[in-house]
């Protein structure tokens, strides 16, 4: 009978049916039934509260883990960006020093290794330095020739102005 009363409570049966079951159990049994139902409700409510607390704790732990991962990612990205900036700056400074050496007529040193844009720029810079050295040498020879002769005849290409021959 007790099981049917509990079942009627859980099934949502009408109040009249529950009252009928309660009369069948008797008054003393009804008080016991109420106490048992109170215990049952409090234990179910306690389990629900425990489950909600566990869910909240798990959610907070997940949030803390997510925040930690995001902060770690930000720190890692900043450190990597700083290191990349430092390496690029070092190589650009090397190119600046090479330009200053070239301006003073000094040897600019070896080419940079690599396949990146800065290495491409260094290769173009070396090609330009070689052309300047070649043209400067040509001009120096022609200047010496011009100093020693009174009549000078130059043969130059029309499209680039390069001196082909001097008499």
pLDDT confidence of residue 74: 97
Token pair, residue 128, equals 């330009």
Angle at 156 between CA 155 and CA 160, to 5 degrees: 175
Least Cα distance to 152 among 139, 161, 143 occurs for 143
pLDDT confidence of residue 155: 60
The answer to whether 137 touches 149, Cβ cutoff 8 Å, is no
Q: How far is 64 from 57, CA to CA, in rounded Å?
A: 10
Question: Per residue in 108-142, is it b (16+ CB within 10 Å) or e — as a string?
Answer: beeebeeeeebeeebeebbeebeeeeeeeeeeeee
Please say if the pLDDT value at position 20 is more than 90.
no
- Tell me the per-residue pLDDT of 84-115, one tens digit each, with 9 for 90 and over: 999 999 999 999 999 999 888 888 888 888 88
The more confidently predicted of residues 84 and 13 is 84
Please say if the pLDDT value at position 157 is more than 60.
yes
Residue 137, Cα to own-chain centre: how many angstroms?
51
pLDDT exceeding 90 applies to what percent of the chain? Answer: 21
The answer to whether 25 touches 2, Cβ cutoff 8 Å, is yes
Token pair, residue 93, equals 């400074």
pLDDT confidence of residue 50: 56
Least Cα distance to 22 among 10, 31, 13 occurs for 31
**Cβ-Cβ contacts under 8 Å for 22 (sequence gap 6 or more):** 5, 30, 33
């Amino acid at each position: 009978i007790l099981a049917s009363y509990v079942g009627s409570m859980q099934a949502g049966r009408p109040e009249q049916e529950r009252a009928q079951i309660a009369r069948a159990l008797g008054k003393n049994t009804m008080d016991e039934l109420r106490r048992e139902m109170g215990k049952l409700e409090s234990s179910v409510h306690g389990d629900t509260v425990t489950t909600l607390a566990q869910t909240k704790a798990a959610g907070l732990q997940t949030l803390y883990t997510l925040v930690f991962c995001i902060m770690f990612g930000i720190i890692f990205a900043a450190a990597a960006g700083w290191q990349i900036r430092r390496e690029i700056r070092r190589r650009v400074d090397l190119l600046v020093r090479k330009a200053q050496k070239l301006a003073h007529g000094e040897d600019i040193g070896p080419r940079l290794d690599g396949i990146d844009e800065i290495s491409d720029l260094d290769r173009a810079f070396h090609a330009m330095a070689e052309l300047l050295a070649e043209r400067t040498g040509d001009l120096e020879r022609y200047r010496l020739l011009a100093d020693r002769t009174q009549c000078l005849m130059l043969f130059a290409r029309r499209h680039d102005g390069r001196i082909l021959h001097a008499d």
